[in-house]
Structure 1
């Protein structure tokens, strides 16, 4: 039985790695931001002794624990493919990639593993201060983990600090140049803000769900929605700026990728158009049904209105990435980013009018946008990784030369097994997470954790201790 589906082993190996990475990526993208959110909630509880923050901490830490576990499991499975499907890449790039991956384990993974148990179960056993320290270490560990992984991946896009060995291996020459390669700072900023924004919209979507269910009496619901909307309003514009800066860096070091993202098959001598939409026709090297704005592409790339630019017609077809995939994934990412900023600005308007908790259309929008961050990070990853093709180490090692010498049927069979198992196991996990999110934050149960101590707001009227806007009535 032929399980190659008519595809070659290289393409099947790429699809398999892409599928497993996409499944894996959604969990760290959520847990990185959620770990920091939990640290903030715990800090607010310790500062104010307000029971609502403790309820929210207990509510989200269950979800964090499950997401973190699924991220670890999916990441371990993914790493085995370096030895199965990509053994040539592992051999040639191992002297550079291997130590960086080891540093991630020795720092971030040990940090997370060492303090995760204290964060989950140790409040009564170690005291508030050490428990808070554990929360900060877990939050920091997730960011450190992302830092090392992005350093590895960025090096594959903008390789630096190496020399070529006699057998074709990439040998380290300057570790500072390897770790802090040209694209790393931009990609780290862009990815971390994406993770925080992803978490904000999931938290905001859950809060919106409960507000639409009429649970206005639950202060935890109001707090989570308010905090999420503040994050959306502040971080979404910063994320757009980060994306723009990364785009400029990509144009400097990987111009072919940007040409695919923007759909520029033709060179331009007198002004660069901004192509909004169209159907890429890579076989004919043209954009069909193009809708564009003349000359606007130049200023976006920090060039003049009359700037010139070489198009994909100057790049051999076998050196071009799959333009249609890159073109549309980039537009999905940008559209979601703009929609996120729109929801953030909308929330500021509703907050200013005193209508944040009563604006049902805002709640509906926030609910629809709940999973948008996950879609955006996957679309961004597809744009970045597919846009790098046909290289696995940009400009140095072709993807076709990095794959293991396996038969297409063998890779196809393992891909089919991954699809079935991943959807069964991780699909069940996601369903359980959604089930937890459907329940509102519970009232305080005496004895479950440390009992609430004296608050900084004792003696004030109930209205004074409400969260901002909590007692504001709907606008007329």
Structure 2
């Protein structure tokens, strides 16, 4: 099958596959680093054993997810030189420094304090250890800041000029970094990371509550996760709406594809709930729609006119069916997250948060929903930008390296096999750790005292990492 596909499409598949694999790990790491900082801070503030037990439970999972995120990100970056060398050459003067800032200000911050966070409790003391945990959490945020600035510039390029060699060169760094879509994309992605982590933590807590409703660790993590979902899910919907309005202003073609609007609607556009987009025919077949609702959402008026893809040259259309359905997957999961948050509030009001088995099963089923929503959102954003790598300025077909299809097909096949083998084993091990119940550590531990495994007094010089192992 791959023999009949051109090198451009294969290069796009390869980058899409590696990014889809990569993006779930940073999304989880950003949220989990903040969760670990909250747990350790609560332990220092209250002295409650359950918080440090949960910290030790989740820190091993964080270490594995962080490592897989780093490895998958390194592989992805090499493709700029192998498959997308023309793109790298033309955008390098603008995007190269931004990527360097990410490494210098974010990755070094994370890496510099990660060792202390993982192994240093007995060496530096709880308060300095808490500082290290905070630095790792801040580093993950700054990493997202710079990466999303890079991606947002590709979506809404500003602050550049073009030199005689056809390269984009910086003219205004402030405009480049804080381009029009960047603030909306940053808020949307960081909230998505927190929701993703909350859903995982809530799902794990629900799993253990279904087996033992008296498990204090499971109760605490489930309660904290449900609070996060109940608060953040509605904020995320509002942030997504604001992001959509910004996209309508700067990338209207993407919104047309998301909405399935092949035709213009001068007297109010319907909201198409479901249907089968036919790009060749320029219509959505078997559409289930609500009259004028799309105009109300996007323009805040029932009769507000909305342009369709019939106003855009066909060669500039993105793959509409992909964008149409990925957007609906993301929105549908967002509505389910909101429902979960509302049900958790109802359970708190009724005093059944730890006893409502149906809620626990729903939370367990929603555990992976954040990852799916993040990937669906990424597909909507990136495929909706097509056929451009730099929106409106550099086409994807003009960005690819001069490669032959068999070479790209061979590397794509190798990536698929290796990724599913290596990262599949890593994910299975994380699930194995999650399936273990959070154990209670030694009783009476104080925030100023070293953390030890219950019943064992290890020699820190021989085995310092024993301080962060869950009691067995």
TM bin (shorter chain) = over 0.9
Q: Deviations over 1:178-221 (max 9, x none)?
A: 000000000000000000000000000000000111x2232111
Specify which of 207, 214, 217 is matched with residue 214 of structure 2. 217
Matched, 1:271 2:271: no
Compute the displacement of 1:305 (Å): 1.2
The TM-score with structure 2 as length reference comes to 0.94
Q: Which residue of 2 aligns with 1:173?
A: 171
Distance 2:112 2:155 in 1: 32
Distance 1:220 1:128 in 2: 20
Whether the 8 Å contact between 1:29 and 1:198 is mirrored in structure 2 is yes
Alignment length, in residue pairs? 449
Q: Which residue of 1 aligns with 2:99?
A: 101
Specify which of 393, 413, 423 is matched with residue 420 of structure 2. 423
Partner of 1:387: helix, strand, or coil? helix
Distance 1:454 1:437 in 2: 28
Whether the 8 Å contact between 1:201 and 1:371 is mirrored in structure 2 is yes
Matched, 1:60 2:58: yes
Matched, 1:377 2:374: yes
Distance 2:309 2:447 in 1: 66
Whether the 8 Å contact between 1:122 and 1:131 is mirrored in structure 2 is yes
Partner of 1:288: helix, strand, or coil? strand
Specify which of 293, 299, 316 is matched with residue 313 of structure 2. 316
Distance 2:265 2:136 in 1: 50
Compute the displacement of 1:313 (Å): 1.0
Specify which of 47, 67, 74 is matched with residue 76 of structure 1. 74
Compute the displacement of 1:336 (Å): 0.1
Compute the displacement of 1:454 (Å): 8.9
Whether the 8 Å contact between 2:113 and 2:132 is mirrored in structure 1 is yes
Partner of 1:80: helix, strand, or coil? helix
Distance 1:216 1:284 in 2: 56
Distance 1:55 1:298 in 2: 51
Specify which of 295, 301, 316 is matched with residue 298 of structure 1. 295
Whether the 8 Å contact between 1:49 and 1:454 is mirrored in structure 2 is no
Compute the displacement of 1:453 (Å): 5.1
Whether the 8 Å contact between 1:321 and 1:386 is mirrored in structure 2 is yes
Q: Which residue of 2 aligns with 1:16?
A: 14
Q: Which residue of 2 aligns with 1:348?
A: 345
Q: Which residue of 2 aligns with 1:163?
A: 161
Partner of 2:318: helix, strand, or coil? coil
Compute the displacement of 1:443 (Å): 1.9
Q: Deviations over 1:312-346 (max 9, x none)?
A: 11111111000000000000000000000000000
Q: Which residue of 1 aligns with 2:181?
A: 183
Q: Which residue of 2 aligns with 1:434?
A: 431
Specify which of 194, 197, 205 is matched with residue 195 of structure 2. 197
Whether the 8 Å contact between 2:309 and 2:317 is mirrored in structure 1 is yes
Matched, 1:386 2:383: yes
Q: Deviations over 1:86-144 (max 9, x none)?
A: 00000000000100000000000010011011111111111121111101100000000
Between 125-134 and 142-151, report the one with greater CA deviation.
125-134
Whether the 8 Å contact between 2:270 and 2:289 is mirrored in structure 1 is yes
Q: Which residue of 2 aligns with 1:412?
A: 409
Specify which of 145, 148, 170 is matched with residue 146 of structure 2. 148
Compute the displacement of 1:445 (Å): 4.2
Distance 2:347 2:372 in 1: 26
Distance 1:293 1:218 in 2: 47
Q: Which residue of 2 aligns with 1:36?
A: 34
Distance 1:126 1:6 in 2: 59
Specify which of 230, 235, 238 is matched with residue 233 of structure 1. 230
Distance 1:226 1:339 in 2: 18
Distance 1:210 1:127 in 2: 31
Where structure 2 has 5 or more consecutive residues not aligned to the other structure, the ranges are 450-472
Whether the 8 Å contact between 2:33 and 2:136 is mirrored in structure 1 is yes
Q: Which residue of 2 aligns with 1:326?
A: 323
Whether the 8 Å contact between 1:4 and 1:413 is mirrored in structure 2 is no
Q: Deviations over 1:19-73 (max 9, x none)?
A: 0001000100101000000000000111111111110000000000000000000
Q: CA RMSD in A?
A: 1.2
Whether the 8 Å contact between 2:126 and 2:448 is mirrored in structure 1 is no
Partner of 2:288: helix, strand, or coil? strand
Specify which of 196, 204, 207 is matched with residue 205 of structure 2. 207
Moved over 2 A (4+): 450-455
Whether the 8 Å contact between 2:200 and 2:367 is mirrored in structure 1 is yes
Distance 1:452 1:70 in 2: 33
Specify which of 362, 365, 376 is matched with residue 365 of structure 1. 362
Whether the 8 Å contact between 2:271 and 2:294 is mirrored in structure 1 is yes
Specify which of 258, 261, 264 is matched with residue 258 of structure 2. 261
The TM-score with structure 1 as length reference comes to 0.93
Distance 1:69 1:166 in 2: 42
Partner of 1:301: helix, strand, or coil? helix
Distance 2:303 2:447 in 1: 66
Q: Which residue of 1 aligns with 2:452?
A: none
